[in-house]
Structure 1
């Protein structure tokens, strides 16, 4: 039985919207290693439809020479939470409907851990259903004041801090588990 590991780029005020704002904070070797450590034990990728459609053109043409993460993203089985099975032509990809039991089964059947990135609606539902084992928040020292937030107004999610790693550019890798 694997874990479900969620990774999000986030501002200090919780915004996870299209993270173009990350460009102002150059990647460091420890940041690359941190992302690599999240995906290292993962055998499968779970994405919402919108994130899948954003990732497909961005990753499908990358090679290991472009980005060491390219083989993981391109070759791993991708499970896409969607009601439309058409257009899933990036790597091995299958459509899945959302239910806590179906995602628990996916987690149980995976050869390793299951990696999730972006996919805010999906992550919100999985947090509510207590399916997330590790929530990796790569938190940038920036507040935007508006934008899509991971935690919707009125939501309550109790978490337990597993680790906090600051990077020299002010970004912090926060890892939470279920409370």
Structure 2
């Protein structure tokens, strides 16, 4: 059975959308190593919401190992898109459409994957999976900024209790927090 491991760049005030807030805190080698453990170190599939898949495809397909050591993972790993509005997953190699969000379908999908299932961005999908208990690990890359407005990981009124599974801090002020249900 696969484990869904969600990764989100997040601000101190809980915003996850349009992570331009990351620009003032350049990605460090240590962050790259931590991300590598999460992606290439045990993920057999990538799960996307429609918007993140559509935005990520052009960015990753134009990169190779020389540009970004993560490029082979993102380009060569099987990708699965949750979308009720798309009719195909053409345009980015190794992509398949799972259809609209359905918790039972995602549980069946998890059962069919032997290792980790990496998911990043995809706020609408992640919020639904968190509500349905489908997320096995939540990796928050907490940036030391507050932006005030934007989509939040946990919408107002959400109550959730998670257990801290690990933490590490980086020289640029970012903290990587791992939570489990």
> What TM-score range do you get, normalising by the shorter chain?
over 0.9
Aligned residues: 178
Is residue 139 from structure 1 mapped to residue 137 from structure 2 by the alignment?
no
- TM-score, structure 2 length as denominator? 0.95
Structure-1 separation of matches of 2:89 and 2:167: 38
Answer whether contact 2:88 2:96 (CA < 8 A) is retained. Answer: no
RMSD between aligned residues: 1.0
Answer whether contact 2:89 2:95 (CA < 8 A) is retained. Answer: no
Cα distance per residue 1:57-95 (max 9 Å; x no partner): 100111111111111101111110012223532011111
Gaps of 5+ in 1: none
Answer whether contact 1:85 1:94 (CA < 8 A) is retained. Answer: no
Structure-2 separation of matches of 1:88 and 1:148: 28
Q: Which of these residues, 149, 152, 157, is aligned with residue 149 of structure 1?
A: 152
Aligned to 1:24, the other structure's residue is in SS state coil
Gaps of 5+ in 2: none
Answer whether contact 1:50 1:119 (CA < 8 A) is retained. Answer: yes
Answer whether contact 1:59 1:73 (CA < 8 A) is retained. Answer: yes
Residue in 1 that maps onto 2:106: 103
Is residue 25 from structure 1 mapped to residue 28 from structure 2 by the alignment?
no
Aligned to 2:92, the other structure's residue is in SS state coil
Aligned structure 1 segments of 4 or more residues deviating by more than 3 angstroms: none
Structure-1 separation of matches of 2:125 and 2:138: 13
The structure-2 alpha-carbon separation of the partners of 1:143 and 1:72, relative to structure 1 and needing over 3 Å to count, comes to: same
Q: How do 1:26-41 residues align onto structure 2 when only pairs under 5 Å count? A: 26-39=26-39, 40-41=41-42
Aligned to 2:147, the other structure's residue is in SS state coil
Aligned to 2:10, the other structure's residue is in SS state strand
Answer whether contact 2:79 2:96 (CA < 8 A) is retained. Answer: yes
Residue in 2 that maps onto 1:169: 172
Is residue 55 from structure 1 mapped to residue 56 from structure 2 by the alignment?
yes
